[in-house]
Chains A and B, each alone.
Chain A
Amino acid sequence: MYLYPIWVRLWHFINTLLVLVLIVTGISMQYTDQKEYILVVGFAKAVKWHNITAGLLTINYIFFVTGNILSKNGRYYRIERKNFLDNMGKQLRYYSWGMFKGEKHPFPVSLDQKFNPLQKLSYVLAMYVALPLIIFSGIGLLFPETVISRLFGISGMILTDILHITMGFFLSVFLAIHIYTCTLGARPTSLFKSMLSGYHEPENHTA
């Protein structure tokens, strides 16, 4: 089943590289110290590459949103209110219980339904909540003059930076879970191969 068009795969591949660089350089800035650590990039290099990569990620994000608006891919991200909690519960039960008992996937992958409800919610939160927040707060840190100087007696820069690193952290957690759930295909490597070939291998489980 051809599920991942070339533009989605291209966006995803670029996004993967950029996010990895952003996490490494972001951690380098956050946990910087007087001593230069060998495993972490030095502060000056981290700032430079974080800025460059973030600029590219922003462009790539605009490409993703535009692609979703112009193509049918956007429909996969529409959350249906009907039976929302029930469906979430079914999927959660499957991941935590059913799949170990050999039960069938409650929401098998099809051309109309690329993501299961839990997957859809996490993707929407990551792509349409966390990403815009991290991009806007990042622009604020890059151009401090655009950030309000104080809010309720607290520096606007602190708030902006905490928002930025909190979103960065949640996206890092998302990445860890995302990579793991991608091993839940027909075989542990199936979904990784799908993102390269575009073809989804039918299975009982999905990520």
Chain B
Amino acid sequence: MTSAPVRYLLVFLFVFSGFPGFASGLDLKGENTGAYDTTAFKSPFFEDNERCFVCHGQNRYEYTNENLGRQVRAMMFSERVVDRSEFYESNHKSFSCTDCHSASYVQFPHPGELRMEQMYNCIDCHGNDEKFAQFHFEEIEASYQLSTHYKLEEEGFTCWDCHGPHEYKINVRNSSNLKETILYDNNICLRCHSNFDQFQLLTEREEINILQKHEWLPNQESHFKNVRCIECHSEINDTILVSHLINPMEKAVRRCNECHSQNSMLMSTLYKFQSKEQRKDGFFNGIILNQSYVIGANRNEYLNILSLIIFAVVIVIISIHIYFRLTGKTK
């Protein structure tokens, strides 16, 4: 870690590049995630699960039609396709398919009544279980029930709409790369809010143009890459790490000062998990600096003091000068 004085020195030596040749911008593609070790995991149910994945693991599947007496190739309905690699990286990677789905699915063709199978919700497995106490699932459920999304339950909204059981992976706690967490979390929202096919399954509202709706936001692209949608669209909750109380549009944060200030609310939201590991180099809300930079929230205490001292010295010198002008042979 570079020491604080060296950082300030660097400011004066070589700082800014306004030329496209230097521009690497805020591109996320090249950044190392280093968060998930997928190759080391070997599911104890790998072989069992392959019985499902052989058809549901890709778009095309084959089966023997005994009536026709031949192999038939068909397309799998996209909602029924589960990506193997995503599944074995997800939170539920150690599960057998039949832990959640009926064991009767091993029959093929699948029995028709399985279509009406009742699906679990997060709280069904994670609620009131000491093993998951640190995640506060009960609090999450309570928050969700106050959320604007809860009103859509009658239309079929469930936890799975945001947290797909076959691919969702816990993110902000594990990731060392916050930019990737932001991208991952925002894509959860965009799955419906920027995809009208998905959106219209749950609401009669007209299509939303996210870019137009956020036209008022200065440096829109920078905001989209550096904060999550929920920073402005959810209620801060002190108990749970990620707020699940999504507010209606009218209650979204619009005051810049909420984040761009010494008491930045980002410390209670996006940087909540890391905020305990405060940096000690004079920057307010210094932990943000590891990943980003927020004007107003990251002013430097030392530079503030130094600037006040310099200004005070200038005023004192001018005052002394005025005194001698008044008492000397000049005006």
Which residue numbers of A lie inside 8 Å of B, CB to CB? Answer: 29-36, 42-44, 47-48, 51, 95, 99-102, 133, 136-137, 139-142, 144-149, 151-163, 165-166, 169, 172-173, 176-177, 180, 184, 187-188, 204-205
CA distance A102 to B327 in the complex (A): 12
B158 contacts the other chain (CB 8 A): no
B5 contacts the other chain (CB 8 A): no
Contact of A144 among B1, B17, B20, B219 (CB under 8 A): B219
Q: Are the CB atoms of A160 and B261 closer together than 8 Å?
A: no
B19: min CB distance to chain A, Å: 8
List residues of B (70-113) whose CB comes within 8 Å of A's CBs: none
Q: Are the CB atoms of B20 and A149 closer together than 8 Å?
A: no
Task: Please indicate the chain B residues that have their CB under 8 angstroms from the CB of A172 in the complex.
Answer: 311
Extra pairs beyond A33-B263, A166-B11 (4, CB < 8 Å): A33-B257, A42-B256, A160-B16, A166-B12
Q: Are the CB atoms of B328 and A100 closer together than 8 Å?
A: yes
Count class of interface residues, chain B: 35 or more
Q: Are the CB atoms of B26 and A149 closer together than 8 Å?
A: yes
Q: Flag the segment in B34-42, B124-132, B191-199, B297-305 that touches A.
A: B297-305
CA distance A99 to B2 in the complex (A): 47
Q: Are the CB atoms of A102 and B256 closer together than 8 Å?
A: no
Contact of A47 among B1, B2, B23, B218 (CB under 8 A): B218
B25 contacts the other chain (CB 8 A): yes
Considering only CB atoms, which chain A residue lies closest to B22 in the complex?
A148
Considering only CB atoms, which chain B residue lies closest to A43 in the complex?
B256
Q: Are the CB atoms of A149 and B8 closer together than 8 Å?
A: no
List residues of B (311-331) whose CB comes within 8 Å of A's CBs: 311, 314-315, 318, 321, 324-325, 328-331
Q: Flag the segment in B136-144, B201-209, B244-252, B287-295 that touches A.
A: B287-295
Considering only CB atoms, which chain A residue lies closest to B293 in the complex?
A157
Q: Are the CB atoms of B311 and A173 closer together than 8 Å?
A: yes
CA distance A29 to B25 in the complex (A): 23
B222 contacts the other chain (CB 8 A): yes
Considering only CB atoms, which chain B residue lies closest to A42 in the complex?
B257
Contact of A32 among B11, B19, B260, B293 (CB under 8 A): B260
Q: Are the CB atoms of B15 and A137 closer together than 8 Å?
A: yes
Contact of A154 among B7, B20, B24 (CB under 8 A): B7
Q: Is the interface of B mostly helix, strand, loop or mixed?
A: loop
Task: Please indicate the chain B residues that have their CB under 8 angstroms from the CB of A30 in the complex.
Answer: 295-296, 299
A109: min CB distance to chain B, Å: 16
List residues of B (1-56) whose CB comes within 8 Å of A's CBs: 1-2, 7-8, 10-12, 14-20, 22-27
Considering only CB atoms, which chain B residue lies closest to A97 in the complex?
B324
Assuming the contacts A33-B262, A157-B292, asked whether A148 and B24 have C-beta atoms less than 8 A apart, the reply is yes
Q: Are the CB atoms of A33 and B295 closer together than 8 Å?
A: no
CA distance A20 to B24 in the complex (A): 34
Assuming the contacts A33-B262, A34-B257, asked whether A160 and B15 have C-beta atoms less than 8 A apart, the reply is yes
B275: min CB distance to chain A, Å: 17
B126: min CB distance to chain A, Å: 35
Contact of A163 among B15, B289, B295 (CB under 8 A): B15
Q: Are the CB atoms of A33 and B2 closer together than 8 Å?
A: no
B155 contacts the other chain (CB 8 A): no
Q: Are the CB atoms of B23 and A145 closer together than 8 Å?
A: yes
Task: Please indicate the chain A residues that have their CB under 8 angstroms from the CB of B222 in the complex.
Answer: 144-145
B6: min CB distance to chain A, Å: 9
4 residue pairs, one from A and one from B, having the closest CB atoms: A100-B328, A102-B329, A43-B256, A157-B293
CA distance A142 to B221 in the complex (A): 12
Q: Are the CB atoms of B331 and A187 closer together than 8 Å?
A: yes
Q: What are 28 residue pairs bridging A and B, where the CB atoms are less than 8 Å apart in the complex?
A: A29-B260, A31-B299, A32-B261, A43-B257, A43-B296, A48-B218, A95-B321, A99-B330, A100-B325, A102-B329, A136-B16, A141-B295, A145-B26, A145-B222, A146-B25, A147-B17, A148-B16, A148-B22, A149-B26, A154-B10, A155-B293, A160-B15, A163-B12, A172-B311, A173-B310, A177-B318, A180-B321, A205-B330
Task: Please indicate the chain A residues that have their CB under 8 angstroms from the CB of B2 in the complex.
Answer: 152-154
B256: min CB distance to chain A, Å: 4
Q: Are the CB atoms of B25 and A144 closer together than 8 Å?
A: yes
Q: Are the CB atoms of A146 and B18 closer together than 8 Å?
A: yes
CA distance A99 to B289 in the complex (A): 50
B153 contacts the other chain (CB 8 A): no
B137: min CB distance to chain A, Å: 31
Q: Are the CB atoms of A149 and B25 closer together than 8 Å?
A: yes
B255 contacts the other chain (CB 8 A): yes
Q: Are the CB atoms of A29 and B315 closer together than 8 Å?
A: no
Assuming the contacts A34-B258, A149-B25, A173-B310, asked whether A29 and B296 have C-beta atoms less than 8 A apart, the reply is yes
Contact of B260 among A43, A159, A169, A177 (CB under 8 A): A43
Contact of B23 among A148, A160, A161 (CB under 8 A): A148
Task: Please indicate the chain B residues that have their CB under 8 angstroms from the CB of A187 in the complex.
Answer: 331
Contact of A162 among B24, B303, B314 (CB under 8 A): B303
